[in-house]
Structure 1
């Protein structure tokens, strides 16, 4: 990550919330997860970021245990504005909970941040251990058949005004696509194009067969699989692979 003093990690976390507001009424994906979370007694959100999903659940009346896990301390600082939720800094592979949760989620394509086979296997093993018998794991990944990364370019930049009144332009640019791993940069700049910050990210795009092999190896059974947020099947035009897996 290349971070410039003019645009801090805290600024980047606040900008994420501005660009990605959690709104179950507006976004079917958020509504999908809200329904699952509200029906579960104890929930672990892996890759919780700024905690918007769990904030909303608590505001909506969830009375059970809610925990957010993320390695990004700046994002967690925003999440911790709400103190009636547990916030843990760390990676899924390092988690040591045992049979404590009814539901584990990885939302907003967080599953794709598990890039290597080792990281993916270790994370799924830790999640499996953290779930109670018949507990569920819910996540989504972008379907590789749609090659979503080909649309990530400066020509698709987003223009926003942040909380301090700064005009900003944000865009993605692909560095490489090797096998099923895509590496790209996210640039935050002023309206004149002056670069304030550049972040580098790698994501893994797994197809259905590869996903299911990793899940089965970790002791999960796929209970439901959707290709869109209206719970339609995965087809040759699906942009998402949405999975609900049960701890076997």
Structure 2
């Protein structure tokens, strides 16, 4: 079940304009180069920025995401025709024999690893990924550091941004605000605000905050051979 924040067409279309700085992906590109990966599975591919960038480098890529609206945006980007897109979860990918033991690297960029709120969801996701990896394959993901308490900065005053909607000729604006009602599972609210009568769309995503080493300890139960923590 995708978070509505990524599966509403109006929200999906403004995701990239609201978050244009994707320098966070540089670490993953460096890992692709370091490992010499020729086939990458991107779990939670969203609007496809990472997948399309890898495809431009000649990497074979499969991007999977349960949010069909986000994948639809991804499919409009340059290089999208060289990416295999799946609307679904990595469990769906692993269920297809043709995708098993096919990838050198699996990635979960941005907050993807944090949307699995329960341990059983997280472990099922990891086991499915492992099924898709070749022997010696690797998984790369990130998690925010709870001690930083980023949710204390998720206020309307600090995070709301307004800008012209890139897909409309008539005046249209978008904004984003963040809130935290539960420090263990903070929620982010993205808002699409139309000045042309389309109304306001509110959409929320809830993320899990675990210490990185805690996630690694959980991950160890999937029989991963080795870990490297980049801080």
Q: TM-score range by the shorter chain?
A: 0.7 to 0.9
Partners of 2:173 and 2:192 within 8 A in 1: no
Q: Distance in 2 between matches of 1:2 and 1:215?
A: 27
What are the Cα deviations for residues 107-149 of structure 1, in whole angstroms up to 9, with x where unaligned?
0121101111111010011011111111110111111110111
Partners of 1:49 and 1:76 within 8 A in 2: yes
Q: Distance in 1 between matches of 2:30 and 2:102?
A: 20
Q: Distance in 2 between matches of 1:217 and 1:162?
A: 45
Q: Distance in 1 between matches of 2:212 and 2:65?
A: 26
Q: Distance in 1 between matches of 2:41 and 2:221?
A: 21
Q: Distance in 2 between matches of 1:201 and 1:47?
A: 13
Quote the offset at 1:168 in angstroms. Answer: 2.5
**Distance verdict in 2 for CA 1:138–1:10, change over 3 Å:** same
Match for residue 159 of structure 1?
A: 162
What are the Cα deviations for residues 80-108 of structure 1, in whole angstroms up to 9, with x where unaligned?
22211100011224431421110000001
- Residue 82 of structure 2 aligns to a residue in which SS? coil
User: Which one of 208, 211, 216 corresponds to residue 212 of structure 2?
Assistant: 208
The reply on whether 1:220 has 2:224 as its aligned counterpart is yes
Match for residue 44 of structure 1?
A: 41
The reply on whether 1:186 has 2:186 as its aligned counterpart is no
Quote the offset at 1:14 in angstroms. Answer: 1.7
Match for residue 175 of structure 2?
A: 169
Quote the offset at 1:2 in angstroms. Answer: 7.0
TM-score, normalized by length of structure 1?
Answer: 0.78
The reply on whether 1:75 has 2:70 as its aligned counterpart is yes
User: Which one of 83, 88, 91 corresponds to residue 90 of structure 1?
Assistant: 88
Match for residue 240 of structure 1?
A: none
Instruction: Describe how 1:61-140 pairs up with structure 2 within 5 A.
Output: 61-62=57-58, 64-81=59-76, 82-96=80-94, 97-140=99-142
Quote the offset at 1:161 in angstroms. Answer: 1.8
Mind listing any 5+ residue stretches in structure 2 that lack a counterpart?
none
Is the strand fraction higher in 1 or 2?
A: 1
Partners of 1:169 and 1:190 within 8 A in 2: no
| RMSD (Å) for aligned C-alpha atoms | 2.3
Is the helix fraction higher in 1 or 2?
A: 2
**Distance verdict in 2 for CA 1:174–1:208, change over 3 Å:** closer
- Residue 120 of structure 2 aligns to a residue in which SS? helix
Q: Distance in 1 between matches of 2:62 and 2:8?
A: 22
TM-score, normalized by length of structure 2?
Answer: 0.83
**Distance verdict in 2 for CA 1:2–1:83, change over 3 Å:** closer
